[in-house]
Chain A
Amino acid sequence: MSETSEFTKRLKQLIVETCNIPDAPEDVPEDAPLIGPDSPLDLDSLDAVEVVVAVQKAFGVRIGGEEGAREVLQSLRTLAEFILREQNKR
């Protein structure tokens, strides 16, 4: 299992706890939309704020500025890749 795949599982758990989703599906495809009507976790734009702040607290990575939240929050995979990329910059 790749570093990103393993990390997406951890991220999914963080999101489920942060956004209080008791009936979250077991398997969420890494490339499925994270936010919006097609989100398997049923997250909306208000949940997106929760995710952004939770990621900053848990991993010390700020989503914002010129790399917009829209791109980063496309899927679990894009979010995981962003966090790992930012952490590797340090």
Chain B
Amino acid sequence: MSIDFPHRQSAHCESGVTANLLSYHGQRISEALAFGIGGGLFFGYFPFVRINRLPLITFRSAPGAIFKKCVRRLGARVRSQTFASPREASAALDRALAAGIPQGLQTGVYWLPYFPPALRFHFNAHNLVAYGRDGEDYLLSDPVFEEPVRCPRGDLERARFAKGALAPKGRMYAIESFAPDGDLAKAVRQGIREVCNRMVRAPIPLIGVRGVRLLASRLERWPERLGREQAVLHLGHLIRMQEEIGTGGGGFRFIYAAFLQEAAAILGNPDLSGLAEELTETGDLWRQFALLAARNCKGREGANSTFSALAEQLRDCARREEQIFRALLKVV
């Protein structure tokens, strides 16, 4: 049993799954457009929330939010379920596939056997689409892979019920009904406004450009507060959150800039192209920060990669992004 599902590779799993599910239902959109309409860009620094003893630093909105917001803004109805047991979850997946409905699944990466061992890590908010079954193997469209993959039932059940932070609890989601003639321009505007509000109008100092400035002031004091070893661990963690795990680099800034370029054409507004270029430059600035921070971690630092210099770089990112997102608010 197999559904004719349009697999496309993407940089980030949730926006890739969202774009692919929408394409299956007749609205062919890019990963960048799905990310932007879903209001994916974010900055949050939550020093009191710890993951593996390190502070939560995130460059994207909460897991599941991109899919939910994007498809709803495009006028689709969504069905999302969690389950008490692997058996129940697999039975529901089998029923849905037999009915010809591809299903988005939240999984833990560590238990997916088709991931090379070097890339397996304990991250429980990985997204993929199940589009068929061949005996005891599920046919999967995992957007971080070039081609569709197969996964035995037992392994998929373990991945769907991985334990720990962001445990998926068998979460399965699908587009229930969709008429692909929704107001794309309206959805684009809604997505942009949400991100702008978060970046420059957040009421708490942990989010948006205020969050970047808070991180800068904390980072500056990490060596004296934590000691060199812990400070470097924190710095390495920040670089990984920014440049790895499917961000497309620059903490999702490059993907969001690609979205703004598409938005310029959809809304017929060339100002958005200019802002996309400015955001790409900011992505380069974030990447430059990561480069200097990596040199610090490796003990190869110079005058421009001390903790104080890195904090200044972050403040520069915040200053430029404040200008960009305030300008963006005026455009939409």
Contacts and interface: CB of A to CB of B under 8 A. Distances in A.
B144 A65 contact: no
Interface stretch (A6-14, A24-32, A47-55): A47-55
Contacts of B119: 36, 70
B18 interface: no
A88 B107 CA distance: 38
Interface string B23-50: 0000000111000000000000000000
A58 B32 CA distance: 27
A71 B12 CA distance: 12
B288 interface: yes
A37 B120 CA distance: 12
Given A46-B239, A49-B291, A49-B294, A64 B118 contact: no
Contact of B255 (A52, A66, A69): A66
Contacts of A70: 11, 119, 144, 244, 246
A70 B115 CA distance: 13
B246 to A, nearest CB: 6
A38 B117 CA distance: 10
Contact of B258 (A33, A45, A65): A65
Interface residues of A, number: 24
B239 A66 contact: no
A20 interface: yes
Interface string A47-87: 11110110010000011111111110000000000000000
A78 to B, nearest CB: 11
Nearest to A38: B118
Nearest to A68: B11
Nearest to B253: A64
B249 A65 contact: yes
Nearest to B249: A64
B291 A64 contact: no
B146 A48 contact: no
Contacts of B254: 62, 64-65
24 contacts: A33-B118, A36-B118, A37-B118, A45-B244, A46-B239, A46-B294, A47-B294, A49-B239, A50-B291, A53-B291, A56-B284, A64-B248, A64-B254, A65-B11, A65-B249, A65-B254, A66-B10, A66-B30, A68-B11, A68-B144, A68-B249, A70-B244, A70-B246, A71-B146
Enumerate the 5 nearest inter-chain pairs by beta-carbon distance, A residue then B residue, closest first: A64-B249, A68-B11, A64-B254, A36-B118, A46-B294
